[in-house]
Structure 1
Amino acid sequence: MKRNPQKRPDIYSQITNTIVEAIEQGAGEWQMPWHRSGEGLNRPINIHSGKAYRGINILSLWASAQAREFTTGSWGTYRQWQEKGCQVRKGEKSSLIVFYKEFEVEEPDPNTGDETSKRRVARASWVFNADQVDGYERPEPVEPVSDPVQRSQAAERFVTRTGAVIRHGGDQAFYRPSDDVIQLPEPERFLGSETSTPTESYYSTLLHELTHWTGHAKRCDRQFGERFGDDAYAVEELVAELGASFLCADLGINLDPRPDHAAYIDHWLRVLKADSKAIFTAAAQAAKASDYLAGLQERSEAAA
Structure 2
Amino acid sequence: MRTDIYQKITDQIVTELEKGVRPWLKPWNVEHAAGRITRPLQGNGIPYKGINVIALWSAAMEKGYAAPVWMTFKQATELKASVRKGEHGSLVVYADKIIRTETDAKTGEDSEHAIPFLKGYAVFNVEQIDGLPEHLSLNSWRLSRRL
- TM-score, reference length from structure 2: 0.76
Structure 2 residue corresponding to 1:46, chosen from 35, 42, 45: 42
Check if 1:142 corresponds to 2:145: yes
* Residue matched to 2:126: 130
Instruction: Confirm or deny: 8 A CA contact 1:41 1:73 kept in the other structure.
Output: no
Shift of 1:75: 0.2
Check if 1:92 corresponds to 2:95: no
Shift of 1:16: 1.6
Higher strand share: 2
Higher helix share: 1
Question: For residue 40 of structure 2, what is the amino acid of its counterpart?
Answer: P
Check if 1:77 corresponds to 2:80: no
* Secondary structure at the counterpart of residue 123 of structure 2: strand
Question: For residue 128 of structure 1, what is the amino acid of its counterpart?
Answer: F
Structure 2 residue corresponding to 1:23, chosen from 17, 20, 29: 17
Question: For residue 112 of structure 2, what is the amino acid of its counterpart?
Answer: T
- CA offset digits 1:240-299 (Å, max 9, x no partner): xxxxxxxxxxxxxxxxxxxxxxxxxxxxxxxxxxxxxxxxxxxxxxxxxxxxxxxxxxxx
* Secondary structure at the counterpart of residue 45 of structure 2: coil
Instruction: Confirm or deny: 8 A CA contact 1:103 1:118 kept in the other structure.
Output: yes
Work out the CA distance in 1 between the residues paired with 2:37 and 2:88.
Answer: 21
Give structure 2 stretches of 5+ with no counterpart.
104-108
List structure 1 segments (4+ residues) > 4 angstroms apart after TM superposition.
none
Question: For residue 76 of structure 1, what is the amino acid of its counterpart?
Answer: M
- TM-score, reference length from structure 1: 0.39
Shift of 1:105: 3.1
Alignment length (residue pairs): 129
Work out the CA distance in 2 between the residues paired with 1:88 and 1:127.
Answer: 10
Check if 1:12 corresponds to 2:6: yes
What does 1:215-230 correspond to in 2, within 5 Å?
Answer: none
CA-based RMSD of the aligned residues comes to 2.4
**Are residues 14 and 64 of structure 1, via their aligned partners in 2, closer, same or farther at CA, if it must alter by over 3 Å?**
same
Work out the CA distance in 2 between the residues paired with 1:13 and 1:125.
Answer: 14
Identical-residue share of aligned pairs (%): 31
